[in-house]
Structure 1
Amino acid sequence: MAPPPSSTISRVITLLLKIVMFTLLLASLVVLVTDTATISVDLFPDSTVHFDDIYTYRYVLASIIIGLVYSLLQTAFSLYHIATGNRLIAGDGAFVFDFYGDKAISYMVATGSAAGFGATKDLKALADAAKLDLDDYFDKAYASASLLLIAFFCAATLSVFSSYALPKMVN
């Protein structure tokens, strides 16, 4: 039995990367939206802090959601392409869409992760200086940003693959 053609292997690898990326983004979303903490200060009643009280985490959320939508769309396109052998977008437009889409999403996911790490580091330093025990809150924020960073590596790899595929298909 002859081995499958390299284009089939490439399609399967990109599909797996898209599924892993989607799973990481979904996990990052769940961790981020469940991130809450209660602050107790002597003179004031207990206050609950949610992730969306911090504007930077709203940007992280937006980058996750946009990445999820794109990843789901690309996964569906890949499944269709593997199942039928045809691309959903006719002509060379699919390769151009993959090329620019992968670049844009990888940058968005990377900046979302970086923003999450930066905000968490700065806010944790402020909370520690104020002697507030918010370690669990910031640990979840770090976990969400870490999952987002790993999703970026998947997106960057997909971006490289689409860079290689474009010159072969577009003449």
Structure 2
Amino acid sequence: MASSTASRVAIFILRVLVFILLLISLIVLTTNATTADVGTEAVRIHFNDISAYRYMLAAIVIGFAYSLLQLAFSTCHLISGNHLISGNGGILLDFYGEKVISYLLATGAAAGFGVTKDMKDYFEANGLYFGKFYEMAYASASLLFLAFVCSAILSVLYSYALPKKV
């Protein structure tokens, strides 16, 4: 019983951590905008201008919604000791849901890292410096990557629980 309670607490803590990381990543990404002077003009760049950041935003929002739903389920599971979805359906939903969401979060983070590096190299080669923009993009992608790591750990925990339940 103690290991079951400990695993429920660990799952709950990881879910809270994923939720918080995704929330902060969402805030950092959506507030990311800057202006640079190009000759006599000011060029404004916003995260919405780059399609990879829009994909990153979609990954964060989908992960956030899933995390919120699973956080509610995990809270009920922690308090009552029973899954809201009875039988094997609950553990299968958790197992496969974590797999899908963790891959989505990983690809979102990879897209954010990749496009930020490419943009930084391209713009700096052309004499444009958006230092704060890159830093915030890297910060958001890093938080998204940490959320992926927590989600992957959850996926591993559910893979250990799967043979016991099915």
Under a length normalisation based on structure 1, what TM-score does the superposition of the two structures give?
0.94
**Alignment correspondent of 1:152:** 148
Q: Distance in 1 between matches of 2:62 and 2:44?
A: 27
Partner of 1:121: 117
Match of 2:25 in 1: 28
**SS class of match (1:49):** strand
- Paired with 1:133 and 1:153, the residues of 2 have a C-alpha distance of 31
Deviation per CA, 1:2-57, whole angstroms, max 9, x where unpaired?
xx6110000000000010011011111111001001132125x3232110100000
* Other-structure match for 2:75: 79
1:13 aligned to 10, 14, 22, which one? Answer: 10
> Between the two proteins, what is the percent identity of the paired residues?
54
CA drift at 1:137: 0.4
Which stretch shows the higher mean deviation, 46-55 or 119-128?
46-55
Amino acid at match of 1:41: V
Structure 2 counterpart of 1:93: 89
Equivalent residue letter for 2:55: Y
Structure 1 portions without partners, runs of 5+: none
Distance 2:102 2:116 in 1: 21
Secondary structure at the counterpart of residue 120 of structure 2? helix
Match of 2:102 among 95, 106, 120: 106
* Distance in 1 of aligned mates of 2:134 and 2:25: 14
What is residue 169 of structure 1 aligned with on the other side?
165
**Matches of 2:156 and 2:83, distance apart in 1:** 19
Q: Distance between the aligned counterparts of 2:72 and 2:51, measured in 1?
A: 32
Give the structure-2-normalised TM-score: 0.97
> Any unmatched runs of 5+ in structure 2?
none
Runs (4+) of structure 1 moved beyond 3 Å? none
1:28 partner letter: S
